[in-house]
């Protein structure tokens, strides 16, 4: 038997529709917090004990720890799904064949 996985979208919709949480009000609260940092064109900023991470003018996630300034991975799941781990040799197989690698 497989364990059901819940997407972030499904969780938000359940909280909104079944539990009666006003997500638009929370969105406006978060926008009020994030707006000064977006105006300054920050990539990430600390606010209230969490880090707001921006991509341009869009707040893309909120992370519990300060992100690495040079990181390409801009979400807070890298410790969970392993995307921050080295995935091995990324050279194309034709390049390796030309160089005599296996």
d(CA 102, CA 96): 7
Rounded mean pLDDT for each run of 10 residues along the chain, 102 residues in total = 92 95 95 95 92 92 85 51 55 70 58
Partnered with residue 54 across adjacent β-strands are: 59
Domains of the chain, by residue range, sit at 8-89
d(CA 47, CA 90): 37
Pure H helices in the chain: 8-17, 23-39, 78-81, 93-98
Cβ atoms < 10 Å from Cβ of 34: 19
The confidence score (pLDDT) of residue 21 equals 95
Phi, psi (rounded to 5 degrees) for 20:
75, 25
Angle at 79 between CA 76 and CA 80, to 5 degrees: 90
The confidence score (pLDDT) of residue 68 equals 80
What is the DSSP code (8-state) at residue 88? S
């Amino acid at each position: 038997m497989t364990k059901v996985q819940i997407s972030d979208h499904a969780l938000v919709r359940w909280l909104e529709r079944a539990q009666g949480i006003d997500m638009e009000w929370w969105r406006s609260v978060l926008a009020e917090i994030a707006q000064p940092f977006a105006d300054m064109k920050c990539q990430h900023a600390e606010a209230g004990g969490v880090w707001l991470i921006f991509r341009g003018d869009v707040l893309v996630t909120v992370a519990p720890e300060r992100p690495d300034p040079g990181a390409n991975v801009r979400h807070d799941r890298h410790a969970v799904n392993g995307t921050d781990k080295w995935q091995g040799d990324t050279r194309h197989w034709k390049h390796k064949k030309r160089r005599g690698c296996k």
